[in-house]
Structure formats: C-alpha cells, structure tokens
Amino acid sequence: MKTSRLLSLSAITLSVLLFTNCQTEDESVSTEINQESSKSEASAEVYPLTGNEKIVTKMFFGEETEFNQVDNNLILGDMILSPEQVEETNILEKGVIRRNRHWPKSGSYYYIPYTVDSNLPNKGRVTSAINHWESKTKIRFIKRTNQRAYIRFRSGSGCSSSVGRTGGRQNITLASGCSTGNTIHEIGHAIGMYHEQQHPKRDNYVTVNFNNIKSGKASNFNKRSSSSVRTSTFDIGSIMMYGSYFFSKNGKPTIVRKNGSTFNVQRRALSSGDLSVIRRYYN
C-alpha cells in the first residue's frame, strides 16, 4: 500500500515504474524461478486479507474446503464466490459452471459488457488481455451501456475475480503488479474457469507437497471431484495453473512434476488446453 501511495505522487514516475516492473516480471520467467513464483503468488490472492476474516469450511466440488468469508463472499485464493455458487459445485454433473453463469450468446459470439475505472493504472493491461481473448475465442467485450451484468476492471490490492457471470456488477481487481497475463487469468475466472491444479486427474501428472504449503492455504490444492472434470486432459501449461512455489511456507516447491522437477508458472497466453475447455462452453 505504501508503495502504491508513493507511486501515485507522480503519474510519470508511475508509468515508467510500471513499465519497468512488467519487463522485469516477463524476463524473470525463464531466469528466476523462485522470484517469479513468489511474485505470482502475490497475485494469487485477494487482498487485503487481515487474517481476521471468518474462516468457514464448505463442501466445494465434493471436497471440504476452507474459505475466507468477507461479507457474503467466500474467498479462495484469487477467486470470489457466492455461497450459492459454492453449493452448486457439489451437484454439477459436468462442466466448470452452470449454464446460467455463462455470458449470453448473440449470433456467433458471447458478449461481456465491461467498464474500466478511470483511475486504474496501466489500462493497456486490460486492452491487451481483451485483445488476446477476442483473438482466440468467440468471446467479445463491449463497453457497458446499461446492462445489469458486467465486469468492472478496477484498481485495488492483489489480482482477483468472481467466477462466472454473477448477474450484476462484478469486479476484476488489478493491483499495479498484475500483468497482462494475470489479467487474462482473471478474465478466465470471470467466464467460469477454476484453477488447473485442482483438476481431478492432476495426481497422474504432478505431486502436491502438502507439507510445504502455508497454513490455511491447503484448500487451494484440493482436487475437484471427478464428476466436475473441466477437461479430459490435465494441462500443466494452463494459464489457470499455479506455479511450483505458490503458497510455499519454506521455500520448497508445493507442486512438482512426477519426476520431481519444478516448472515455471505460465501467465502469457491461453494454452491449447485452455482453448479446448473454453470451446466446450463458449462455442
């Protein structure tokens, strides 16, 4: 928070610093695994969590899951869900979200109305993320006029989003450290995607080291029940996949490949696996 207040002192300094920050983040993907992962982890949660939020345990995709409850929202990592939505996941027969949480189709395309707060720094992240989604999928973003359901891109702490269409205004919150890739990831949540490390078949491809996960964060690594298969194939390169060091309490990896090796988090583009899932629901 102190940093962002400092930054707001000078718009020029702000844009220069943000540019530098994005550059650093991109370059670090291939060079500094630990550093990159910890940065991405900072973007993997809704902030500010004070630790005083009520912790509630709910069944989520058939698994006991700890959520932070803030007002009437249930928060898991960077995902914001309603109690009804969490309940729904236990009765899904297939698919990531219920049809009524999909964005509506008109003609060949699915349209998502949106607004961007005037004080959101580096609005180019939103433009680039939207361009990416529109170039790869049948989802189109339109400036909101009077639609009841829409996405509002706003500044705030951390990067976060609701999951699926809520039916009213729903926020995608982007701190200054959230990259274009993070924005693509958060839009993924807003159209109804969950995290890939919770894929029902993930244990065939990766090992989750629960002993290395921070206290209270293990629920982010729960498997979804097999009835909620998001895609036929687990995709370690999904933009919805956590990195090897997410929520590590001791600097050791929380997720490794079956051969024990770590991997870089992918926050550049929708993967082919992501696209096949999206096509199932927005085709």
Q: Is 199 annotated as a binding residue?
A: no
CA distance 275 to 228: 18
Instruction: Mark residues 75-114: x for contact with Zn ion by CB under 5 A, - for none.
Output: ---x------------------------------------
When asked if residue 196 is in the footprint of Zn ion (CB under 5 A), the reply is no
Residue whose CB is less far from Zn ion, 104 or 126: 126
Q: Which residue is nearest to Zn ion (CB)?
A: 78
Q: Which residues contact 160 (CB under 8 A, 6 or more apart)?
A: 45, 46, 47, 75, 78, 79, 80, 171, 172, 173, 186
Q: What are the structure tokens assigned to 139, written together?
A: 């989802």
Q: What is the closest distance, in whole angstroms, from the C-beta atom of residue 9 to Zn ion in the complex?
A: 31
From residue 35, alpha-carbon distances to 3, 30, 206, 218, 246 in Å are 19, 11, 21, 21, 11
Q: What is the closest distance, in whole angstroms, from the C-beta atom of residue 178 to Zn ion in the complex?
A: 11
Catalytic machinery residues: 186
Q: What is the closest distance, in whole angstroms, from the C-beta atom of residue 131 to Zn ion in the complex?
A: 20
- Whether residue 13 contacts residue 7, with contact meaning beta carbons closer than 8 Å, is answered with yes
CA distance 68 to 71: 10
Residue whose CB is less far from Zn ion, 139 or 184: 184
Question: Of the candidates 86, 273, 68, 277, which has an alpha carbon nearest to the alpha carbon of residue 163?
Answer: 86
Q: Is 102 annotated as a binding residue?
A: no
When asked if residue 45 is in the footprint of Zn ion (CB under 5 A), the reply is no
Q: What is the closest distance, in whole angstroms, from the C-beta atom of residue 213 to Zn ion in the complex?
A: 16
Where along the sequence are the contacts to Zn ion (CB under 5 A)?
78
- Which segments are annotated as binding site for Zn(2+)? 185, 189, 195
- Which segments are annotated as binding site? 185, 189, 195
